[in-house]
Structure 1
Amino acid sequence: MSLKKRVVYTAIFGGYDTLHEPKGLNKDIDFVCFTDDTKLKSKKWKIVLVADNKISSAMQNRKYKFFPNVYLKDYDESLYIDGNISVCSGVISELFDTYLAENKIAIPPHPERDCIYKEASKCIDISKGDPLKINLQMKFYKGIGFPSGYGLFENNVILRKHNDPDIVCLMESWFQQLEKFSARDQLSLCFLMWQQNIKCGSIFEGPRYSNRYLKIGYHKTEENLPVFKKIILYIFLNKKRNRILFFISKAIENIKRLSAKS
Structure 2
Amino acid sequence: MLEKLSPRLDTANLRMAVYTCIVGHYDSLIEPRIAEPGIDYYVFTDIDIPAGSVWKKIDITQFDEYHEFSPTQLNRRIKMLPFCYLPDYDYSVYVDGNIEIEGAVTPVVAEMGDCPFGTHYHRTRDCIYVEKVRVNYLRKADKETVDKQTAAYREAGFPRHYGLYENSILIRSHRDESVRHLMEAWWEEYMRYPTRDQLTLPYLIWKTGYDRSRIHIIGKNIDRNPNFKRTHSHKTAKPS
- The normalised TM-score by structure 1 is 0.77
What secondary structure is seen at the aligned counterpart in 1 of 2:121?
Answer: coil
Which of 203, 206, 215 does residue 194 from structure 1 map onto?
A: 206
Report the counterpart of residue 168 of structure 1 in structure 2. 180
Instruction: Count the aligned residue pairs.
Output: 217
Question: Distance in 2 between the 1:210 and 1:168 partners?
Answer: 26
Given the alignment of the two structures, is residue 84 of structure 1 paired with residue 98 of structure 2, yes or no? yes
Bigger share in strand: 2
Report the counterpart of residue 253 of structure 1 in structure 2. none
Any residues of structure 2 matched to 1:143-162 within 5 Å, and which?
143-162=155-174
Report the counterpart of residue 110 of structure 2 in structure 1. 97
Report the counterpart of residue 114 of structure 1 in structure 2. 126
Given the alignment of the two structures, is residue 56 of structure 1 paired with residue 70 of structure 2, yes or no? yes
Relative to structure 2, which stretch is displaced further, 50-59 or 80-89?
A: 50-59
Q: 1:201 to 1:43 in 2, by over 3 A?
A: same
User: What is the CA distance between 1:207 and its match in structure 2?
Assistant: 3.7
Q: 1:25 to 1:11 in 2, by over 3 A?
A: closer
Per-residue CA deviation, residues 216-241 of structure 1 (Å, 9 max, x unaligned), is: 0125759xxxxxxxxxxxxxxxxxxx
Is the Cα–Cα contact under 8 Å of residues 120 and 134 in structure 1 kept in the other structure? yes
What secondary structure is seen at the aligned counterpart in 2 of 1:53?
Answer: helix
Is the Cα–Cα contact under 8 Å of residues 4 and 29 in structure 1 kept in the other structure? no
> Please, which runs of 5 or more residues in structure 2 have no aligned partner?
1-12
User: What is the CA distance between 1:43 and its match in structure 2?
Assistant: 2.4
The code of the aligned residue for 2:192 comes to K
Report the counterpart of residue 39 of structure 2 in structure 1. 29
Is the Cα–Cα contact under 8 Å of residues 35 and 47 in structure 1 kept in the other structure? yes
Q: Which has the larger radius of gyration?
A: 1
User: What is the CA distance between 1:19 and its match in structure 2?
Assistant: 1.0
Given the alignment of the two structures, is residue 141 of structure 1 paired with residue 153 of structure 2, yes or no? yes
The code of the aligned residue for 1:62 comes to R
Report the counterpart of residue 88 of structure 2 in structure 1. 74
- The normalised TM-score by structure 2 is 0.84
> Once superposed, which parts of structure 1, at least 4 consecutive aligned residues long, lie more than 6 Å away?
none
Is the Cα–Cα contact under 8 Å of residues 19 and 95 in structure 2 kept in the other structure? yes
Q: 1:205 to 1:136 in 2, by over 3 A?
A: closer
The code of the aligned residue for 1:30 comes to D
Provide the aligned C-alpha RMSD in A: 1.9
Relative to structure 2, which stretch is displaced further, 191-200 or 11-20?
A: 191-200
User: What is the CA distance between 1:42 and its match in structure 2?
Assistant: 4.5
Question: Distance in 1 between the 2:34 and 2:49 partners?
Answer: 24
Report the counterpart of residue 38 of structure 1 in structure 2. 48
Question: Distance in 2 between the 1:102 and 1:204 partners?
Answer: 17
Given the alignment of the two structures, is residue 208 of structure 1 paired with residue 228 of structure 2, yes or no? no
Per-residue CA deviation, residues 3-49 of structure 1 (Å, 9 max, x unaligned), is: 96111100000101111111224112111110011355442111111
Is the Cα–Cα contact under 8 Å of residues 206 and 214 in structure 1 kept in the other structure? no
Is the Cα–Cα contact under 8 Å of residues 141 and 196 in structure 2 kept in the other structure? yes
What secondary structure is seen at the aligned counterpart in 2 of 1:108?
Answer: strand
Q: 1:88 to 1:121 in 2, by over 3 A?
A: same
Question: Distance in 2 between the 1:128 and 1:173 partners?
Answer: 22
Report the counterpart of residue 16 of structure 2 in structure 1. 6
Q: 1:196 to 1:21 in 2, by over 3 A?
A: same
Q: 1:170 to 1:210 in 2, by over 3 A?
A: closer
